[in-house]
Structure 1
């Protein structure tokens, strides 16, 4: 799909405080196992050492869907000379298993986490303060990402990439049905009904029907937010009307459900089982390769009084305070996510479709044009 080059729009300052609970962790802790990926020989101080006296660092990633990403991060790790870095690729419920592992000695030294560590992790002193790693590069990181990964005046993660979520639609299917890309929520409901034909459903919002994903966009569509100062957006009368849209889509039977892959993968959309899908910018290479120009992308539609929304977020590189060598782990994070701009650009654009978190790298990301 041809995409005209436009300046990057200002990023939303909306923030979701992701609170990681510490209850009911027994089963999850047991599932973490003892294999941290650190390797090496235990040292008297409880750390580990490897050949030539270098520290060993265990680095965890969630399972990315883009082919080549795992090989890339393993290559980055192998190129680091100051320590032996072992990459662990974690399928399944990464957030829960990682949060649980931080309470044990079986967790990672370095790990990524969506939008940075939770408030609980920070207050529980489970993650290291990374503020001093940035130096004079701080102003080069997208400000809203730094804000999201900051708490109490300190920075707790280094943004790896900037991701966006959008509504994609199949141009040919909409044209055949005489449907315009929906700009308003009532138009979305009508389009989903009209596009549901035979084996094709109008919309795919994930296997839970959007219940776990679209709460924020529905609030924003109504002009609300999770938090507005001390006011909780869910208390507003308009929140019930906005969120009931998701139930209407469900009861109208216009949603695709029960897919082998969830909203973050475009397979259902590419296969034609859904005429529209909520997904991430990172799926665009796969969609474009399969469909050519036969797709478009729009923000989440609006209700009266609201505004279109494109949720923005980022995985951030964090350091566990239980790391065998916290300073060595921090040095590796600085090397990879602050100093190695070539690797940051490669990670953002060579495998999926992400926006670099560094402002200076965006003009170099040719795929964005």
Structure 2
């Protein structure tokens, strides 16, 4: 998949997450032992890190790792950058052969899947040493599964409503505050030749499904019930899909979006063919400097029943059992979490920090859009497993999987009743669920 210019990590990885069920569940971890020396690299804490931004990110992360100076008796650390392409197979094969990392970043639900296979080391002792008051609410406890913390958060990825200020002004439209004013703005924008709700529905991207889920969560909906069982066909979800059909009917969701990649949508947003879209942080970076002030984050919409919400992922760091000494891993992890602030200071990531102290940094506060996302969107962000009491392993197969991809195409075509689409989606999710 073509990477989004300012967000290569999220867009280059989401299409491969659907492979997780086969790779994780197919017995590739059977060779994983409870402990061993290979995973620690013979006295070195092996840190595997995904590509969370441009080349400058990997350079910065490598420098942070190499600057680690362990206390006497503790192991040093090494850094390895892992591309998103085929990352599931990379991790599974390495763990099976006992040559995997001691600690890594990864896909949002990777830790849940590996933990269920016996590869992840519980982080309970480590969490007790953290200054939890410095973390935004909910992100630590969301990573608890079957009574144990299985990872620790370092960032979130979230979808917010962006708009072109000049286009709304030209159309005589107000910045939307709810679904009614969103539709009204879309109708006015169509009259000046701009699509009001830009989407990307190509099979090679998952932004389209994320945008639909963001709207469902904005209406108090979700894909699961409280116990974590698939529960797609609900009144709130049907209402959301019928509203999106209305947006198709008024030309806000253009037919061309069905085949759009994220790069196509970005090009439309920059050129003014699309005036609003649900997208990740950092959208202004796609624009020439002279136009960046024209790209603004709106406040979260109020849904028909008073709800506010959007979709987000909690990017996390997990520790593995195949390491000589978890104490060495935890010592490095404590250092690493205290030094990742440099990523936001150097502007090499567009994900949102989960630590209040990083949000308060002058370098972060200079970006008004980021400040607004942190203050208004982060608190209403919901995970893929929203409405369930906890996250669970099968989310890894659903996130970016075929069921959501096919569902997205149907929604954007605007010809199928909402209930029918949700029934089909439910069957697809059930097929890959535990």
- What's the TM-score, normalizing by structure 2? 0.63
- The 1:201/1:147 distance shift into structure 2, 3 A limit, reads same
Instruction: Kindly report which structure 2 residues correspond to 1:1-369, keeping only aligned pairs within 5 A, or say none.
Output: 23-25=21-23, 47=38, 54-55=43-44, 57-61=46-50, 63-66=51-54, 68-81=56-69, 82-92=75-85, 94=87, 96-97=88-89, 100-101=92-93, 104-105=96-97, 107-115=100-108, 117-134=110-127, 135-196=129-190, 200-208=194-202, 211-227=208-224, 229-230=226-227, 234-249=232-247, 252=251, 253-254=253-254, 257=257, 258-259=259-260, 261=262, 268-287=268-287, 289=289, 291-323=291-323, 326-337=326-337, 340=338, 343-351=339-347, 352-369=349-366
CA contact (8 A) 2:49 2:106 kept: no
Aligned to 2:9: none
Over aligned residues, Cα RMSD in angstroms? 3.9
Contact 1:218–1:242, Cα closer than 8 Å, also in 2: yes
Distance in 1 between residues matched to 2:155 and 2:336, nearest whole Å: 13
Separation (CA, whole Å) in 2 of partners of 1:183 and 1:202: 14
The answer to whether the Cα contact below 8 Å between 2:49 and 2:105 also exists between their aligned partners in 1 is yes
Deviation at 1:346, TM superposition (A): 1.4
Task: Classify the secondary structure of the residue corresponding to 1:128.
Answer: coil
SS of 2:159's equivalent in the other structure is strand
- Does the C-alpha gap of structure 1 residues 197 and 126 become closer, same or farther in structure 2, counting only changes over 3 Å? farther
Larger % of strand: which?
Answer: 1
- 1:80: how far off? 2.2
Name stretches of at least 5 consecutive residues in structure 2 with no aligned partner: 1-16, 29-35, 70-74, 367-434
* 1:29 to partner: Cα distance: 10
| Structure 1 pair 59–365 and aligned structure 2 pair: CA distance change class (3 A) | farther
Secondary structure of the structure 2 residue equivalent to 1:85? strand
Q: What is the aligned partner in structure 2 of residue 11 from structure 1?
A: none
Q: Give the number of the structure whose residues are more often helix, by fraction.
A: 2
CA offsets 1:6-39 (integer angstroms, 9 cap, x no match): xxxxxxxxxxxxx98864339x999xxxxxxxxx
Residue 160 of structure 1: CA displacement? 1.1
Taking the aligned partners of 1:48 and 1:163, their CA distance within structure 2 comes to: 29
TM superposition shift of 1:180? 1.8
By how many angstroms is 1:273 displaced? Answer: 4.0
Q: What displacement does 1:172 show? A: 0.7
Equivalent pair of 1:113/1:316 in contact (CA under 8 Å): yes
Aligned-partner SS, 1:214: helix
Q: Mark the runs of 5 or more structure 1 residues left unpaired by the alignment.
A: 1-18, 31-44
